[in-house]
Structure 1
């Protein structure tokens, strides 16, 4: 038994903080990505978009239904 009485409110709040921190750590492992991973994914998405745009066909003026009116 402890020599000093404990404040039950402090103990309850400390336990809640510990539980919340533990849950946050679990979520960070489960869902978190590093800044480098996010930057790499963004760069890959931009490169893929540029690649598709480079292969886009422009509307042909001579084709029926295409081109400017």
Structure 2
């Protein structure tokens, strides 16, 4: 016989873990200075231009 599992508890624990992960990414995004945000945006734009320039066909 397997162990009895309370599905409501499992569901709540999973939701809590997902909320914790979302909070971590939110803290990282909102804890940046304006200079860090603009630098990250410039880097994303540079990478996007590099990828678009490397395309063979549309």
TM-score, L = length of structure 1: 0.42
Name which one, 1 or 2, has greater alpha-carbon Rg.
1
- The structure with more helix, counted as a fraction of residues: 2
Answer 1 or 2: higher relative contact order, Cα 8 Å, separation at least 6.
1
TM-score, L = length of structure 2: 0.49
